[in-house]
Structure formats: structure tokens, C-alpha cells
Homo-oligomer: A and B are copies of this chain.
Amino acid sequence: MTMNEFVIFEGGITAPEGFKAGGIHCGIKRKSLDLAIVYTVKRAFAAAVVTSNLVKAAPIGLCKSHLKNPVIQAIVVNSGNANCCTGKEGEVWARKMAFRTAEEMGVEMENVLVCSTGTIGKPLPIELIEDGIKALKGKISEKGGHDAAEAILTTDLRTKEIAVRFSTSDGRTVTIGGMAKGSGMIDPSMATMLAFLSTDAVCSPAYIEECLKEAVAESFNCITVDGDKSTNDMVVLLANGDDQSHRIEPGSEDDKLFRKGLNFVCEDLARKIAADGEGASKLVEIHVTGAANIDDAKKAAHSVANSNLLKVALHGCSPNWGRIMAALGASGVSQLYPEKIDIFMNGMMVAKNGQAGPANEDEARNKLDVKEIRIDIDLKIGEGYSRFYTCDLTKGYIDINL
């Protein structure tokens, strides 16, 4: 993707005009920041994608109800506790979080979204959170995006933020910003991940919904850390531009730019989530080409990305392409000709026509001893293509989840 039309810069959720945020430590976790608020001065149109897990955390239900009218002015997020499997009380706690945020920020309760991430099945310390919201109010500013990005983390080691800017055909500047968290229970169809996206573009609700779905399909729905699907995940996009004379019209040049920018932001955050997967020491990118169709390509890439055996091999710098063959064969694709498959690891041909390729094993081990591994798989059947991000599987994953 050429990004000449864009400026990519260090920024996050507060990069677009009119967005403020903040994060503090309210006491759910021992030390780290654990409560964030994102706020937009003007009410924004919102679009959201939520977890497909049938076990959904209480805040997810509340958000769905508030999004029936997709106008949002604040998002409150706590980490350290998922408020999931917490029964009727959990629903009350989620409503209290929305109510208190509305009160403190001077907005309507139904214009507030609530997200929680952390351990499942523990009572939410709602008093700490309510006090926290009060204390956080004074810290919310255009400069508070990084604190917010820190406060939403769970086992993540790094904050995940990005911002892009471009000029519209009529010379205005549009900014798209975002922040996200991973990092275990990550699989397509929304895993334990939250991503918040903001823009000052002028968009209709239907338009941002369409753009978000498109961007999520190729980013957050193409990552896996451990194949476990979470109960709390959500991606939200807020668009607070209100000058209707500058609305982005589908089919226009601005439309193309906006989608490209949003896709870039989502893909960047998704990559960062995979790279910071629990225990990860390597980012792994899997590209499947030549599948019978896109659905097959996704199945194949997902199956390879979820192979524990392969992920341990990559951790050990082992070019074990046999494990890729096994994962492809078990992926559920509609068509597969093992004797046609070519596999490359960081450019080395490790398998040719389904058999050992010319790559030298010792050399391959050296070339896999890096932070980023790219696997290219050509099925040589049709035009289907898909790209997945994942990470290696290490003892760190076990330590974190004991």
C-alpha cells in the first residue's frame, strides 16, 4: 500500500480535532493505570463491532443498547476485570459506570459506551471505579491519549497507538487516530481486544459502519494469538465532524482516502496486537495466495496461524514446513493439492510442490532468528488471498497464564 497521500504520525485517539482522553489508576490493578475515558467535545456518530462469543460481558449488552441510536460522546473503559459472568449485578455495575461518566462529563447516559477487560467471573469493584471516574474528570485533555492507551492494557507489554492525516479534495484536513489492547484470548471474530478509533471526518452513521466493517475484516479479524475467543471485545469508531457541507460521500476520492486511512490504522493496531501477544518474541505474518477463493484463503491462513506446533517451531527458528502442510490439510478448505504447494519463510523456499524445497536448513535457521517472520504459501489453485498476523508460542505464554 502506498501511503504517500497520508502523514503517519505518533498520535492516538486524541489526534483528531475535538477528542480528549485520560487514564488513571483507580485501584482495580495493583499499580498500573486501569481506568480510561475517551471524550469528544461534539457528539459523534459511532459504529462498533463486538465479540461473536455467545458468552458476552455485561458492558457489551449495555453498549448494544446505547448504540441503537449511534450517537456517542464518551467511552469509559476499565482494565483488570472483565465484568463478565457476573449476572444481574454485572449489568447494574455497567450501568453505574455509564451513569457516573455521564454525570461527571456532563453528557447523556445513553451517549456513553462502557468497556471492561480483564479476569472473567470476579465482582467488579464498582466503588473504586466510580471514585476513579470522578478523579479522572480533571485529567481529560487533548494530551491524555497516551494515558488512556496505557490504562486499557491487561497483559500487554506495550501501548498500541497510531494516527494518520490526509487532505480532502476541498483542502480540509482529516485525521484518524486509534488505540488498542491485546494480548491473550486473541482470535478472529473479535478476541480479548479492544480498539478505539476516532476521526474528525464528517460521516454519516451508515458510512462509518460500512467502513469499519471493511477495515475490521482485514485487520482485527485476521489476527490470532492463541485461538481463544474472548467475551468482551469491541472495536468502536467515533466520527465527530459535524459540518455537513464537508461530508465524505461514498464513491468520491475522499471516500477512497478515508477508507485507506482507516484500513491502515486498523492494520497497524492489529499488527501491534499480534507482535505483543502473550509471551511473544516474534511477529509472524502469514500470506496465503492461490487459494480457490477468499474464504479458503482465510481458512488456510487461520489454520496455519493457529498451529501450536508451528508457533513453537518458529520460536525455535526451525523451518518446519511439514507442520504448515499438516495445518493446511486440516484447515477445512474446499480444495487442496498437496503436491502443488510452495512455501517460503522469509523469502527462502522451504517447500516446492509439496516436498522439501531448495532452502538449506542451517541457513534457514539463521534467517528465522529475527523478530519478524513472513510465511508465504502458494496453493496454486485460484485467486484467493488472505493475510494473517500471529506470534510465536513461548514459555512466556505459559508463565503469564498459570
The interface of chain A, by Cβ under 8 A from chain B, is: 52-56, 82, 84-87, 119-123, 184-185, 187, 226-231, 306-309, 312-313, 315-316, 318, 321-323, 325-330, 333, 336, 338-339, 351, 353-356, 393-395, 397-398, 401-402
B228 and A329 contact, CB distance less than 8 A = no
- Would you list 9 pairs from A and B whose C-beta atoms are within 8 A, ordered by A residue? A54-B329, A54-B338, A87-B354, A121-B325, A184-B309, A185-B326, A228-B308, A308-B401, A316-B402
Closest to A225 in B: B308
Residues of chain B lying within 8 A (CB to CB) of residue A353: 87
B185 and A228 contact, CB distance less than 8 A = no
Residues of chain B lying within 8 A (CB to CB) of residue A339: 87
Closest to A392 in B: B398
Closest to A353 in B: B87
CA of A184 to CA of B320, assembled, Å: 14
CA of A251 to CA of B289, assembled, Å: 53
A228 and B330 contact, CB distance less than 8 A = yes
Residues of chain B lying within 8 A (CB to CB) of residue A123: 356
User: Contacting A322 at CB < 8 Å: which of B85, B306, B325, B329?
Assistant: B85
B228 and A309 contact, CB distance less than 8 A = yes
Closest CB-CB distance, A339 to chain B, in whole Å?
7
The 6 closest A-B pairs by CB, nearest first: A120-B322, A55-B329, A316-B402, A229-B330, A53-B329, A312-B401
Residues of chain B lying within 8 A (CB to CB) of residue A333: 54
Closest CB-CB distance, A277 to chain B, in whole Å?
11
Closest CB-CB distance, A297 to chain B, in whole Å?
15
B228 and A307 contact, CB distance less than 8 A = yes
User: Contacting A315 at CB < 8 Å: which of B185, B312, B329, B398?
Assistant: B398
B398 and A393 contact, CB distance less than 8 A = yes
Residues of chain B lying within 8 A (CB to CB) of residue A228: 307-309, 323, 326-327, 330
User: Contacting A326 at CB < 8 Å: which of B120, B309, B322?
Assistant: B120
A313 and B401 contact, CB distance less than 8 A = yes
Contacts A393-B398, A402-B316, A402-B318 given; does A326 touch B356 at CB 8 Å: no
CA of A307 to CA of B227, assembled, Å: 8
User: Contacting A398 at CB < 8 Å: which of B338, B355, B395?
Assistant: B395
Closest CB-CB distance, A5 to chain B, in whole Å?
39
Residues of chain B lying within 8 A (CB to CB) of residue A397: 308, 312
Which one of A330, A338, A351 has the highest number of Cβ atoms from chain B below 10 Å of its Cβ?
A: A330
A82 and B322 contact, CB distance less than 8 A = yes
A53 and B330 contact, CB distance less than 8 A = yes
Beyond A85-B354, A227-B308, list 17 extra A-B contacts (CB 8 Å). Answer: A53-B329, A54-B328, A54-B329, A84-B325, A85-B355, A87-B354, A120-B326, A121-B322, A123-B356, A184-B309, A185-B326, A226-B309, A229-B330, A231-B329, A312-B401, A316-B402, A394-B398
Residues of chain B lying within 8 A (CB to CB) of residue A336: 54-55
CA of A401 to CA of B184, assembled, Å: 21
CA of A110 to CA of B338, assembled, Å: 26
Closest CB-CB distance, A359 to chain B, in whole Å?
12
Which one of A123, A313, A351, A393 has the highest number of Cβ atoms from chain B below 10 Å of its Cβ?
A: A393
Residues of chain B lying within 8 A (CB to CB) of residue A86: 355
Contacts A231-B326, A339-B87, A356-B121 given; does A313 touch B54 at CB 8 Å: no
A121 and B321 contact, CB distance less than 8 A = yes
Closest to A278 in B: B309
Closest to A401 in B: B312
